[in-house]
Amino acid sequence: MKKAALELEAKSGPVAVGDKTLRAFHGYQMKRTFNVIQSDLSRTLKPFDLRMLTYSALVLIVDNPGLRQSQLAEAMDIERPNLVLIVDELERRDLIIRDRLPNDRRAYALKVTLAGRQLYQKTIAAVKAHEEMLLEGIGDDALATAMDVMRRIEKNHRRVG
């Protein structure tokens, strides 16, 4: 069964849920929205045999060649141990390589391979279409404001954390 057409009143505004009026709390809409983005992006990436995490890693390595694993983990906001299997998978598929740094033999410089760059190029149109579909009807100004709000929330946390 697909989602019914109900509305629930939330402190952050109405959230469509069923055929009742419910009330929720802030932070809750963010979760729902992220779930939507995550599941839709996963479906989009499936034909390329990529997940959101492996795709994120690939994009960051493509755009930032020579990145260390610890830097990539920080960029992806995950712990270093959790990145190992992600990099393993990309390397096993010959999409990236781990290149020892000559001046610091503890670390790796992560670099995309030709195959990795080609796969990345193939995903671009699909990911763009995915985002355009989800963002349809949303003005550029509203989207920019929403992204600003999210970055501000992230910074507010860091100030404490």
Partner DNA sequence: TATTGTTATACTCTATAACTATA
Partner DNA sequence: TATAGTTATAGAGTATAACAATA
Binding stretches for DNA (CB under 7 A) = 1, 31, 35, 39, 51-53, 68-71, 78-84, 87-88, 98, 103-108
Question: Could you say which of 16, 84, 101, 115 contacts a second copy (CB under 8 A)?
Answer: 16
Segment holding 84, helix H or strand E: helix 80-92
Query: In Å, how far from its chain's centre is CA 47?
Result: 17
- Residue 36 binding a second copy, by CB under 8 A: yes
In the complex with DNA, the residue whose CB is nearer, 58 or 87, is: 87
- Supply the minimum distance, in Å, between the C-beta of residue 125 and DNA: 22
The single residue listed with the structure tokens 């009026």 is: 21
In the complex with a second copy, the residue whose CB is nearer, 38 or 118, is: 38
C-alpha neighbours within 13 Å on the C-beta side of residue 46: 7
- Supply the minimum distance, in Å, between the C-beta of residue 94 and a second copy: 22
Look at residues 18, 117, 100 and name the one whose alpha carbon lies nearest to residue 66. Answer: 100
Contacts of 91 (CB under 8 A, 6+ apart): 97, 98
Look at residues 115, 53, 62 and name the one whose alpha carbon lies nearest to residue 84. Answer: 53
- Residue 136 binding a second copy, by CB under 8 A: yes
- Supply the minimum distance, in Å, between the C-beta of residue 133 and DNA: 18
Question: Could you say which of 48, 74, 113, 126 contacts a second copy (CB under 8 A)?
Answer: 74
